[in-house]
Each structure stands twice: as C-alpha cells, then as structure tokens.
Amino acid sequence: MPAGLKAFLARLERADSDPGETTQLFIFDQSQNPELTGSLRASSLGLPYTALPLFAGTGNLHMASHGPLWCQFPPHSTLSRGALYRASKYANGIALEAEDPIAAQLHARDLLYLREGAGLSLSAYYRPAKWAALALTAQPGLFGPWRRVYSPAPKHIGNPRGPWLRWDAPAAGDPLVPPYRQPPETAAIHRTLRWLYWLDQYFETFGQPSPAQLPALLSNLEFLTEHDIIEADWLLNLARLCLGGPLVERANVLSILEEPNAAFNHYLQLQALRP
C-alpha cells in the first residue's frame, strides 16, 4: 500500500462542503496562477484587501513574485467568494481560520522553512497535497495560531463527499518554535498524494480508477518514473499500460527498460505494447 493512501482515502470520506463566505484568510500558489494579483485588483471593485507575497522581506526575495501569496479579504465579499472558488477549482491554495490575522500571517511565513533531517528546506505547505501530507503526520507547532485549515479535495479520486478537507488544530493550542520539524514519513506520503492530485486531473484518461485500483496504478507510475519515464505526456499515453497489471512482473516491459537506450526510445517501445 503506498504511503498515506489509506489514511487519505479515509479523510476523503469525511470531506466537507464550502468553508463559508465568512472565510477571510487564504494562501495561494502564484506559480500555479501567475495572473492572480492582477485578477484580484480587477475583481476587488474598490474593496480593501491584503495580498502579500510571503517571501517578501526574506532571504528568498527573488521568489516573491511566484511564491505563496497571503490574502485577507472582507467576509461575505466577492473577493472571498472568488477565492473559495479559485482554490477549490484549481487546487492551488488553502483557506484558514484564525483569531489573530497578524499572528496567522507570521506563522504562514515561519512555515516556509522546515527542518527535514539535518538541514532546512523550503516548504510548499500551501499546496493541497503537501498540506495534507503535513497534517496527516502533524507534529507540535504545525498549526500555530491557526484554528483550522481547509484544503481542496481531489474532485474525483476517492469519491470525496465534498470539495474541501477540514483540518482542525489541537484544542489545547499548537504554538510553534520555528522551524517546524517535518517527520521522516511525511515525504513518502507527500509523494503519494502528489500522484493522487495529478491523477485527479486526468481521471478519465486513466479509466476513472476506483480506490481499489489505486495501489497498483500508483506502483506502476512509480516504476515508470524510476526508469526515467517522467514526462507527463509520456505517462498519459501509457495510461492503458499502467492499468494492465503490475509492470514490474511483465517480462516484455523489463526487457525494454533494461536495454541501454534513451528514455524516449523506451517510451516509444512501451507505447507499442498491449495493455
């Protein structure tokens, strides 16, 4: 069973509806929506709002224009409604609830850097797959002053009961002494969830896989990428092959991948195989 798959599918069975138009705090991934700041200005209709690149004022200022964007909108506004729609439709951000927006914003910046093993690394925790992996393996301090986080659920994979996943902070509070320490198991779970969100975009191409089909399908995708079949277009064109049983057990697949050819040549040969 791929790491975290069972736990995440269980969360999808408890997926929620829209967190509500009172939601004011969001973090968006500008790399997924480079026109975001212009779109916000155009749709604000003169309403005051905050849109702050979280890398501004840090040692990674060069990432400010395409990194995470902290947003605070008036409740019950067109901006708040649009933000909920944008985050859910494109799975490119998270929504937050917190008593103190300033403390919440500072925590959002603290989470940009986490301790992974012996060193520090940047964290794209504002992406739905990454947040879910962190929340499923939460250590003290993850939520900080945030009371609740909503992350977009996949639209098809796992038959979610609603469009949002709700993650509640510990009732006793969850203060962080930065940097947040990511546990070792988070990385493998994140890899699984990245595959799930990617498959969700191409749900029809992969034959509308059921939860029962996902372990074998994920194993086949991992197997192909381990052999440098990594281009998205290649994997999409090999969808039927991936659905045809464990590739690691197919002699004709192994014989192709063991040949000293370029990955593109391997891909062309695999494409010619029957599922």
Asked if residue 163 lies in contact with residue 152, where contact means CB atoms within 8 angstroms, the answer is: yes
Tokens for 55, please give them.
């890398």
Q: Tell me the residue range of the domain where 17 lies.
A: 5-183
- Do 122 and 214 lie in one domain? The reply is no
pLDDT of residue 40: 86
pLDDT exceeds cutoff 90 at 20: no
Asked, for residue 195, whether it belongs to a domain, the answer is no
Domain for residue 93, yes or no?
yes
pLDDT for 224 equals 97
Among 33-47, 116-130, 134-148, 204-218, where is mean pLDDT lowest?
33-47
Residue percentage of the chain with pLDDT more than 90: 77
Which residue's structure tokens are 């509070």?
173
Whether 216 and 86 share a structural domain: no
With cut-offs at 50, 70 and 90, classify the pLDDT of residue 137: very high
Sign of the dihedral through C-alpha 209, 266, 271, 202: positive
Domain contains 194: no
Residue 27 near residue 71, CB atoms below 8 Å? yes
The reported pTM is: 0.94
**Where does a domain end: 183, 212, 245?**
183
Determine, yes or no, domain membership for 192.
Answer: no
Do 154 and 216 have their domain in common? no
Closest CA to 232 of 221, 243, 241: 221
CB 144 within 8 A of CB 174: yes
Identify whether residues 131 and 227 lie together within a single domain.
Answer: no
| 135 and 239 within one domain | no
Are residues 206 and 144 part of one domain? no
Pair 19, 141 in one domain: yes
Average pLDDT over residues 173-179: 93
Q: Clarify whether residues 120 and 247 are in a common domain.
A: no
Q: How confident is the model at residue 39 (pLDDT cuts 50, 70, 90)?
A: confident
Number of domains in the chain: 2
Whether 149 and 263 map to the same domain: the answer is no
Could you list the beta-strand ranges (E) of 163-237.
164-168, 180-181
